[in-house]
């Protein structure tokens, strides 16, 4: 019988590398902060793939994309979903992984002309276990009507391409301040939420300097949550307008419904 193993997960809306109200460029500090957590998987939202104006005017702007800069030499595998494209560049979601990607795809789930959203779905291989793990990174709409449609897209995607006997992690910025999504995901997809499962409430992650709204989530299937916390205080409150959300999930062999 194999020993149990756990996967450390970080979900973080990095606000395009800028502090609150975009007053200060803090991508270097964000890189140091996320490295200190030693996560196996990092789910990022509002990541700049390119921005020509910023690269010309901001000192020490990385010569690579933000997700490559953040991955550094720690996460040697990554996937990026380009969602919002404009004259100066583009941004979207990214997943940094210590495990190699078998495949990944970014699906457009935009519901209006003002919010370009994507569903970044990857499958990584956990070599020690010869395990296929599905990972999905999301950043949902500000309006509830759009979020409802995007959860429909998510359910359809999972139902079509994620086998019931393969583990799954869905993380990101759900903008679900009314807390209406979790029951749907539990009923339709048998997904649990880490912080809710451990602490009987969703994590307060926004704004980072005084978290009140419960926007960021880590949902899972085929795991048991061991730890879930919001990363506040220094240096986090000086970085993005969202607080980072860290969780540790223990894989349950045979724990995925089949």
Contact 16, 46 (CB under 8 A): yes
Tens of pLDDT along 165-219?
999 999 999 999 999 999 999 999 999 999 999 999 999 999 999 999 999 999 9
Tens of pLDDT along 18-72?
987 767 999 999 999 999 999 999 999 999 988 888 888 888 888 899 999 999 9
The answer to whether residue 157 sits within a structural domain is yes
**Which of residues 254 and 143 earns the better pLDDT score?**
143
List the one residue out of 226, 223, 173, 183 whose CA is nearest residue 203.
Answer: 173
Of 52-56, 93-97, 197-201, 245-249, which range is least confident? 52-56
The answer to whether residue 1 sits within a structural domain is no
Contact 239, 207 (CB under 8 A): no
Q: Residue 117 above 50 pLDDT?
A: yes
Split at pLDDT 50, 70, 90, the class of 2 is low
**Which of residues 256 and 137 earns the better pLDDT score?**
137
Q: Residue 16 above 50 pLDDT?
A: yes
Contact 212, 202 (CB under 8 A): no
User: Which domain does 232 fall in, by range?
Assistant: 6-251
Split at pLDDT 50, 70, 90, the class of 255 is low
Give the C-alpha distances (Å, rounded to integers) separating 213 from 39, 46, 55, 176, 227: 24, 18, 32, 9, 20
Query: Taking CA 144 as the corner, what is the angle to CA 143 and CA 147, rounded to the nearest 5 degrees?
Result: 95
List the one residue out of 212, 126, 145, 205 whose CA is nearest residue 172.
Answer: 205
Contact 209, 240 (CB under 8 A): no
Average pLDDT over residues 243-257: 85
The percent of residues in the chain predicted with pLDDT above 70, rounded, is 97
User: What pLDDT is stored for residue 257 in this prediction?
Assistant: 43
Task: In whole angstroms, give the CA distance from residue 198 to residue 241.
Answer: 25
The answer to whether residue 69 sits within a structural domain is yes
Half-sphere exposure of 232 (CA within 13 A, CB side): 13
Of 1-15, 91-105, 133-147, 151-165, which range is least confident? 1-15
Give the C-alpha distances (Å, rounded to integers) separating 154 from 9, 106, 126, 216, 232: 20, 12, 23, 16, 29
Tokens describing residue 150: 């995007």
The percent of residues in the chain predicted with pLDDT above 90, rounded, is 80
Q: Residue 258 above 50 pLDDT?
A: no
Q: What is the CATH number of the domain that holds 97?
A: 3.60.10.10
Going by DSSP bridges, is the β-strand pair 118-126/101-108 parallel, antiparallel, or unpaired? antiparallel
Going by DSSP bridges, is the β-strand pair 168-173/216-221 parallel, antiparallel, or unpaired? antiparallel
The answer to whether residue 258 sits within a structural domain is no
Number of domains in the chain: 1
């Amino acid at each position: 019988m194999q020993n149990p193993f756990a996967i450390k997960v970080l979900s973080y809306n990095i606000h395009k590398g800028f502090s609150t109200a975009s007053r200060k460029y803090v991508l270097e500090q964000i890189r140091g902060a996320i490295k200190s957590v030693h996560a196996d998987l990092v789910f990022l939202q509002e990541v700049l793939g390119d921005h020509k104006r910023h690269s010309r005017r901001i000192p020490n702007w990385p010569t690579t994309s933000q997700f490559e800069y953040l991955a550094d030499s720690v996460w040697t595998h990554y996937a990026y979903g380009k969602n919002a494209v404009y004259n100066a560049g583009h941004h979207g979601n990214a997943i940094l992984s210590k495990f190699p990607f078998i495949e990944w795809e970014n699906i457009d789930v935009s519901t209006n002309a003002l919010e370009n959203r994507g569903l970044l779905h990857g499958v990584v291989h956990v070599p020690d276990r010869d395990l296929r793990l599905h990972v999905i990174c999301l950043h949902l709409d500000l309006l509830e009507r759009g979020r409802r449609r995007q959860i429909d897209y998510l359910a359809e995607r999972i139902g079509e391409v994620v086998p019931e006997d393969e583990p799954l992690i869905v993380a990101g910025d759900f903008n679900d301040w009314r807390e209406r999504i979790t029951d749907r995901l539990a009923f339709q997809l048998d997904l649990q939420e880490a912080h809710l499962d451990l602490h009987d409430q969703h994590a307060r992650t926004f704004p980072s300097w005084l978290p009140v709204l419960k926007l960021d989530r880590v949902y899972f299937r085929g795991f048991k949550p061991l730890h879930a916390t919001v990363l506040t205080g220094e240096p986090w409150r000086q970085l993005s307008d969202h607080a980072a959300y860290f969780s540790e999930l223990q894989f349950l062999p045979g724990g995925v419904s089949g």
